[in-house]
Chains A and B, each alone.
Chain A
């Protein structure tokens, strides 16, 4: 039996590709050059390819911290690649790639804690579990995009406030565009998160209805995330709270998301480790 070379792909392959792309992007900020842009895109695309192949071969489950971080990192890597082409003049990659690299790195750190005997994602063994995982993962993408837009918003807003010469700094999207991006991300993420939480609540109640499960870090942080989102929706549509505060809340939401993703899952067999 022949072994595909793709099966030799490891975290290091795509992690280092992303790091390389980030390095080229950083160099491009210091000295704009078409060559560096092409090098960055090639390295980034190679990273996305390796990341995709790794996921396709290993099929990590979003129920485990390792898998959810890896999958979220992958979706954000696609987002990075899209943005790098779409917003060629903006310093998109320097904001997105560090998050992707951090997620990949974190997933690597948690790889040894991965639970055994986890049913394959979308295997049909646990249909509602897969639905719950997919909804939460998609909501996580929205939270992450909202986080990135918020960080960029706060940086841009600070520049405007300090009257920084626009021609002397790394170009960013306009405040208006970033606010729209954040709003759309939250608008998409909130119903997905709500639906995912509802499915999860039903599953927890029917299959794992124990007090310690309801009080697990994962459940509590996800519930906290939902509350923050509810607050975001309220503040955005029912008040005139400045966009900077909404951006700060979006960043808090991302923090809660990370806690929720890193925390072990009460659905999985093995309890404490996941």
Chain B
């Protein structure tokens, strides 16, 4: 195997560099074409917001591509100095490169442990490599194996289970309360970053409408325009609360903007038995926590959501061992299978060569004994030679198949070819 995984990720390179190394469709196409043409490699490029990695495979007889060359290539492609890139690159070789990709695909190398988007991104990287004809026999075997490993990790361990962001924790709570969202109204109070992030998740639920209110009307109008909602004057907050089913609040107010009495007197009576979920993301809090009755009104503050996220991350960490075991097993299997595939032609040639030698010895012998042997005798002699041949070859073939993946496998293969005079 002659495989390299070379790249940088969130742990090795700052976001400023990762931004510069990002690939769009045109750059990706160009890069894959250049890599295959210039270096004679199979290539796949995995680009996400957290990593840029090149998977490069060459025929075993060729010298591997190393990080400095990749740094130069990326520098040329993205207009960055090579010495600004090279210190941030890591390089994994052969079975370590296989392991790296399998761990990446399984979410073991992700910022958010076990996140599931990465598997789709690995798949996209592979599809691009195929589409632009940059994938060859090794990458065509490697990436599907990585995706299988990812699937196994997700189905056989709890690494990908649960919610691991504040926004997804909010959605998980909402699903415990509401059955459908297409008839629900979301109210955003304030325009904090957290509200915008959570709103992005809530929009995916396709609510009937989004209302935005802010002390500064312009800010409300801007956010409303951005999220396709409607701005509501700050003075109409009580009416908006009465209409809303889901509330996201992130004002910077130093006092609660909705005290219990105000809520009880001006909002609750207008709501009937309709349920309301309030996500109070503000610190200090915008809503009096006593409005939560666990029935009509459920209120979650930022600590409640953080706790869910932290618990889930801790839970995921307990599955890392099991996930790593699956990855190790899949790496060994892949490397062995690959070597077996690589050894196939050598074993074929070896068998053919010994077949030829056997025939060369057997034919004159049988010719010399012609007339003195019965058919049964001839069959017995031919069988004995075949048995001898198979016992002779069993040891070398088994040793080759069982040999350690890289260096030894290659050495043995070469040794066999030399010893038996096989031609490459």
Do A and B originate from a single complex?
yes
Q: Which of B173, B292, B295 is A244 in contact with, Cβ under 8 Å?
A: B295
- Interface bits B121-156 vs A (CB < 8 Å: 1, else 0): 000000000000000000000000000000000000
Would A242 and B311 be within 8 Å (CB), given that A158-B294, A163-B300, A176-B178 are in contact? no
Inter-chain contacts of B251 with A (CB < 8 A)? none
B298 touches A166 (CB 8 A): no
Could you show 5 A-B contacts with beta carbons less than 8 Å apart? A160-B298, A162-B294, A163-B300, A163-B307, A165-B312
Which parts of A159-198 form the interface with B (CB within 8 Å)? Answer: 159-163, 165-168, 172-177, 180
Q: How far is the CB of A234 from chain B (nearest CB, A)?
A: 14
Chain A proximity of B338: nearest CB distance (Å): 32
Flag whether A243 is at the interface (Cβ < 8 A): yes
A172 to B161, CA, bound (A): 17
- The yes or no answer to B177 lying at the interface (CB within 8 A) is yes
CA–CA, A68 and B311, complex, Å: 48
On whether A163 and B177 interact (CB within 8 A), knowing A240-B273, A244-B295, the answer reads no
B176 and A156 contact, CB distance less than 8 A: yes
Q: Is the CB of B273 within 8 A of A243?
A: yes
CB-based closest 10 A-B pairs: A161-B294, A167-B162, A177-B179, A166-B172, A176-B179, A242-B295, A174-B179, A163-B304, A244-B295, A165-B308
Please give, as numbers and ranges, the residues of chain B lying within 8 Å of A161 by CB-CB distance.
Answer: 292-295, 298
Within 8 Å of chain B (Cβ to Cβ): is A157? yes
Q: Does B175 contact A (CB under 8 A)?
A: yes
Residues of B contacting A240 in the complex (Cβ-Cβ under 8 angstroms):
269, 271-273
Query: DSSP class of A's interface residues: helix, strand, loop or mixed?
Result: helix
CB distance from B270 to the nearest CB of A (A): 10
Interface size on A, residues (CB 8 A): 24
CA A240 to CA B292, docked complex, whole Å: 16
How many angstroms from the CA of A166 to the CA of B177 in the assembled complex?
11
Determine whether the beta carbon of A160 is less than 8 Å from that of B176: yes
Q: How far is the CA of A157 from the CA of B177 in the complex (A)?
A: 8
18 additional A-B residue pairs with CB within 8 Å, beyond A240-B272, A242-B273, A243-B295:
A157-B295, A160-B176, A160-B294, A161-B293, A165-B311, A166-B163, A166-B173, A167-B161, A167-B172, A167-B311, A167-B312, A168-B315, A174-B177, A174-B179, A176-B180, A240-B273, A242-B296, A243-B296
Q: Specify which chain A residues have a CB less than 8 angstroms from the CB of B295 in the assembled complex.
A: 157, 161, 175, 242-244
Residues of B within 8 A of A (CB): 161-163, 169, 172-173, 175-180, 269, 271-273, 275, 292-296, 298, 300, 304, 307-308, 311-312, 315
Whole-angstrom CA separation of A176 from B172 in the bound complex: 14
Q: Contact between B163 and A167 (Cβ–Cβ < 8 Å)?
A: yes
Q: Given the complex of chains A and B, what is the CA–CA distance between A139 and B295 in angstroms?
A: 27
User: Which residue on chain B has the smallest CB distance to residue A244?
Assistant: B295
Instruction: Please give, as numbers and ranges, the residues of chain A lying within 8 Å of B315 by CB-CB distance.
Output: 167-168
A241 to B295, alpha carbons, bound, how many Å?
A: 10
| B296:A166 contact, CB within 8 angstroms | no
Give the distance in Å from the alpha carbon of A180 to the alpha carbon of B180 in the complex: 12
* Residue from A159, A162, A166 having most chain B Cβ neighbours under 10 A: A166
Q: A176-B275, A244-B295 are in contact. Are A165 and B307 (CB under 8 A)?
A: yes
Chain A residue at minimum C-beta to C-beta distance from B272: A240
What distance in Å separates the Cβ of B5 from its nearest Cβ neighbour in chain A?
A: 33
User: In the complex, which residues of chain B have a beta carbon less than 8 angstroms from the beta carbon of A157?
Assistant: 294-295
CA distance A110 to B367 in the complex (A): 97
Task: Please determine whether B311 and A168 come into contact, CB atoms closer than 8 angstroms.
Answer: yes
Shortest Cβ distance from B260 into chain A, in angstroms?
Answer: 16
Tell me the minimal C-beta distance from A150 to chain B in angstroms: 13
Q: Which residue of B lies closest to A34 (CB)?
A: B155
* Known A165-B307, A165-B312, A244-B295: A174·B178 in contact at CB below 8 Å: yes
Q: How far is the CA of A129 from the CA of B340 in the complex (A)?
A: 79
The CB with the most chain A CB atoms within 10 A, among B169, B294, B307, B312, is that of: B294
Task: Give complex CA distance A174, B163 in Å.
Answer: 17
In whole angstroms, what is the CA distance A156 to B179 when docked?
A: 13
Chain A residue, CB-CB nearest to B161: A167
Considering the chains assembled together, what is the distance between the CA atoms of A176 and B295 in angstroms?
A: 10
Q: How far does the Cβ of A223 sit from chain B's closest Cβ, in whole Å?
A: 28
Minimum CB–CB distance for B263 against chain A, Å: 15
- C-alpha spacing A157/B298, complex, angstroms: 9
Choose among A158, A176, A180 the residue that contacts B177 (Cβ–Cβ < 8 A).
Answer: A176
Residues of B within 8 A of A160 (CB): 173, 176-177, 294, 298
Alpha-carbon gap, A165 to B177, bound state (A): 13
A180 touches B179 (CB 8 A): yes
> From residue B259, how far is it (CB to closest CB) to chain A in Å?
21
Min CB distance A86 to B, Å, is 13
With a CB–CB cut-off of 8 A, which chain B residues contact A162? Answer: 294
Q: How far is the CB of A106 from chain B (nearest CB, A)?
A: 32
Best-buried of B173, B271, B295, B307 by chain A (most CB within 10 Å): B295
Residues of B within 8 A of A165 (CB): 307-308, 311-312
Chain A residue, CB-CB nearest to B300: A163
Closest Cβ neighbor of B311 among chain A residues = A165
Bound complex: CA of A74 vs CA of B275, how far in Å?
35
Q: Is the CB of B272 within 8 A of A175?
A: no
Contacts A157-B295, A240-B273, A242-B295: A174 and B311 contacting too (C-beta < 8 A)?
no
Residues of A within 8 A of B163 (CB): 166-167
